[in-house]
A = this chain, B = another copy of it.
């Protein structure tokens, strides 16, 4: 809406766009203060700024990718991170044939060098390694000072409480569909 030059949006506008009830949107916003103007709606520019601040997205962030296989490569060239000011600034793999190659202008490093993340002040990582290697990769990331992990491996990963993991299990999400579908 910002890009389309729109100035304000009501909770009902947002509702239609997001598939969330209008009262839910208002209630959620209200927990963080009052951003809107009664009778008008929400000033879009202001709203974006507020929400980014709440979600701690108010400054550019760098992330590292571990595992440059099919999925990792796709993630690397995915264009959608920019909207949240994210940038994949480092890539790692265990395969000697891949190390040294470039992908999206980033040199693929040896996964045993994860410690460089500390120097580069990258504290967010994306795990796109096989399931068997996921836990040990996470352990190494934690050692390297990473505080947030997006995990594409189909398994639960154990980390210290200070570290946040969000797991995306593609196959499981696909497998959730039949439950909601009519028999046949």
A residues in contact (CB < 8 Å) with B? 17-19, 54-57, 61, 63, 70-71, 73-75, 77-78, 80-81, 83-84, 86, 123-124, 126, 147-150, 154, 156, 158, 162, 164, 166, 168-184
Interchain nearest-CB distance for A43 vs B (Å): 22
Q: Does the CB pair A174–B124 fall under 8 Å? A: yes
Apart from A71-B74, A147-B181, A148-B181, 15 more pairs, CB < 8 Å = A17-B156, A18-B156, A55-B175, A56-B179, A56-B183, A61-B178, A70-B73, A70-B78, A84-B172, A124-B174, A148-B180, A149-B177, A150-B173, A166-B174, A166-B176
**Number of copies of chain A assembled together:** 2
19 contacts between A and B (CB under 8 A): A18-B156, A19-B156, A55-B176, A55-B178, A56-B179, A56-B181, A56-B183, A70-B74, A71-B74, A73-B74, A80-B170, A83-B154, A86-B171, A86-B174, A148-B178, A149-B177, A164-B177, A166-B177, A168-B170
Interface of chain A, main secondary structure: mixed
Contacts of A77 in B (CB 8 A): 70
* Beta-carbon nearest neighbor of A146 in chain B: B181
Partner of A123, one of B150, B168, B184: B184
Tell me, in angstroms, the Cα distance from A56 to B179 when the chains sit together.
Answer: 5
Contacts of A149 in B (CB 8 A): 177
Contacts of A148 in B (CB 8 A): 177-178, 180-181
Interchain nearest-CB distance for A54 vs B (Å): 7
Tell me, in angstroms, the Cα distance from A177 to B86 when the chains sit together.
Answer: 11
Interchain nearest-CB distance for A33 vs B (Å): 16
